[in-house]
Structure 1
Amino acid sequence: MRLAALSERSGVPIATIKYYLREGLLAPGRRIGATTADYDEGHLRRLRLVRALIQDGQVPVATTREVLGHIDDDSLGRTIRLGAALWALPQPPAPNEDDPAVQAARREVDRMLQSLGWETARELSTLSPVHRSLVAAVATLMRLGYPVDAELMAPYGELMHQAAVRDLDHVETFPSEEEKVEAAVVGAVLFKPVLEALHRLAQEEESARRYGIE
């Protein structure tokens, strides 16, 4: 398809597509003339991914380029490829390791991981921005006087593992390795609000069942 058709099918303006091409976010089309190129379904899929990350997910262009680089790195195994792509997404600042609340939070998170048997998460704890984010969140709650320990977190961890199984079952429905990683990244960026909203709705429903709505 020509650039105009790619724009029409994706809903992305031609000027934006040209910008993505200049920034290396979209591979060049197959050259068929001095000023024209042909684009295929792979370009359309990648364009939708780029648009989703930048426009809907508010991921910076430079970060999007890094994420795409990991998605395209077929020298990596799927777990590392997926992990690298997800870790490249924007993360909150690292917690202050001198903070007693952070130290306490780290101990409780480690106890929780140990109780769940999540050995990979424990082994990668010093590298994982997701692990640091969890420690920081738990530390904040502790500072505010809301005790969060391994026993409280573990049942939530078990529920999240069930959600992760569902996530990866869905990812497995895509045909290629590249599409599988793309689907996981889109899910991490855009499906999170769905999970948060479902959690809130479930809380509202349970509250009404327990306490009524009057």
Structure 2
Amino acid sequence: MKISELSRRTGVPVASIKYFRRQGLLPAGRATAATLAEYGEEHAERLRLIKALTTLGGLSIAATREVLGAVDQAHTSEGALGAISYALPVPVAGQSPADPEEEAEAETAAGAEVAELLADLDWRTPATSPHVQGLTSALKELRRLDAQYAPGELAAYAKLAEAVARLDLERAAGLDDPVALAERAVIVFAICAPVFELLRRLAQENQVRRRVADAGTGPAAPA
């Protein structure tokens, strides 16, 4: 297909396709003349992934180039998923200012709590994972606000998260092509996470309304 047809099929403007090609994100097409090239389905798949990474994932061109390189080198679906997971922004809790001594003490306590949790769950997660560091920062802030979770409460939430993770990976089952799998992973990580959070809030709203109705007292939640 010509570049104009590739643009129509993917919804990516011709100028953007040429830019992605110059940036090394998109392979060149097969030259058919001095100024003409033919593109295939692999180019359409790559463009969809680039769109997912830059638009849904919010990655820069440089970060997108790194992810695409990792996906291209991945020999397994797990490798492709890992490349995407580590590349996308990690949720980070806002932090209140604290003096260095308190900061170090809170960091140590939160880090120990995360390490103990992962060991109890027998999760195969390295300490260098950005997600471990993100969780440590979040628990550190909860400690500072005196709102930390007890170990048993954290474990209960973690087991629910594990069930959700299984569902996420089941959605990717059967996708052997690294590019298609990476595109699905971006959708799962970047879009399904907010969907899951909204479902959680709806469930909380439902529980509040039911408890108010069962008690027969107190103000009802906004209609």
Distance change (3 Å), C-alpha of 1:81 and 1:51: closer
Name which structure has the greater RCO, CA cutoff 8 Å, separation 6+. 2
Cα separation, 1, equivalents of 2:139 and 2:38: 51
Residue ranges of structure 2 left out of the alignment (5+ in a row): 214-219
Residue in 1 aligned with 2:85? 86
Deviations 1:83-114 (A, max 9, x none): 23321233468x99962112111111122112
Cα separation, 2, equivalents of 1:57 and 1:81: 15
Secondary structure of the 2:27 match is coil
Cα separation, 2, equivalents of 1:80 and 1:4: 33
Secondary structure of the 2:49 match is helix
Residue in 2 aligned with 1:67? 67
- The amino acid of 1:106's aligned partner reads G
State which drifts further: 49-58 or 65-74.
49-58
Matched, 1:107 2:112: yes
User: How many pairs are equivalent?
Assistant: 209
How much identity, in percent, do the aligned residues show? 39
Distance change (3 Å), C-alpha of 1:87 and 1:22: same
- The amino acid of 1:171's aligned partner reads A
Matched, 1:116 2:121: yes
Q: Which structure's CA Rg is the greater one?
A: 2
Cα separation, 2, equivalents of 1:62 and 1:153: 36
User: Normalising to structure 2: TM-score of the pair?
Assistant: 0.84
Matched, 1:58 2:63: no
- The amino acid of 1:190's aligned partner reads I
Runs of at least 4 residues off by over 6 Å: none
Contact 2:25 2:68 in 1 (8 A): yes
Cα separation, 2, equivalents of 1:175 and 1:128: 25
- Which residues of 2 match residues 202-213 of structure 1 at below 5 A? 202-212=203-213, 213=220
Cα separation, 2, equivalents of 1:198 and 1:29: 43
Question: What's the Cα RMSD here?
Answer: 2.3
State which drifts further: 103-112 or 183-192.
183-192
Contact 1:109 1:149 in 2 (8 A): no
